[in-house]
Structure formats: C-alpha cells, structure tokens
Amino acid sequence: MANVRNLKKDINYVLGDIIEAVYIWEMSTTGKPTEASEALIDEAIVAFDSLIAKVNAKNVENKKAHFKQINAELEQTANQLVAKINAL
C-alpha cells in the first residue's frame, strides 16, 4: 500500500469503471435504464461512499492492517458487482 491517495484513486477508478460498464450495457441492449441497472449503479455508489468513509476514519489503531482490509473489501465488492453485471 503506497499511500491513502492511491487507495482513494483505486476506489474511484474501479467503481467508476463498473458504473460505466452498466451504462454501456444499458445503451447496447435496451437503450434506456432498467430497474436492475439502476439498482446496480446505486449499489456501486453506496459501496463507494462506505469505502471512502472507511479510508477517512481517523481513529484507527493499526493503519496498515486497516488499509489492507479496505483494499480487500474493494476487490470483493468489485467482483460481486461485476458478477451482477454479467448476470444482466
């Protein structure tokens, strides 16, 4: 883990790319948003907010372990969202 700034950028890029993939799916299939795609976008936004809040937490004892946990949680969340996109 290099630093907090890079972790925040990773969170932003990964979840932003997932939201972009949902938009691409919408335009290539139906041409308009569906309830399922809107739910996926909302889920990605909630995950983004929660991960950024965890990164910004100041009362952390072991910062290295805390940031590794956040990185693992980002990977797990991203994999779940990608699986849901593939299921659309």
How many helices (H) and strands (E) in the chain? Answer: 3, 0
Q: What is the mean pLDDT of residues 53-77?
A: 92
Say what the pTM is: 0.87
pLDDT-based confidence at residue 2 (cuts at 50, 70, 90): low
Whether the per-residue pLDDT at 1 is higher than 70: the answer is no
pLDDT-based confidence at residue 60 (cuts at 50, 70, 90): confident
pLDDT-based confidence at residue 10 (cuts at 50, 70, 90): very high
Stated length of the chain: 88
Task: Indicate the residue type of 20.
Answer: E
Q: How far apart are CA 22 and CA 16, in angstroms?
A: 10
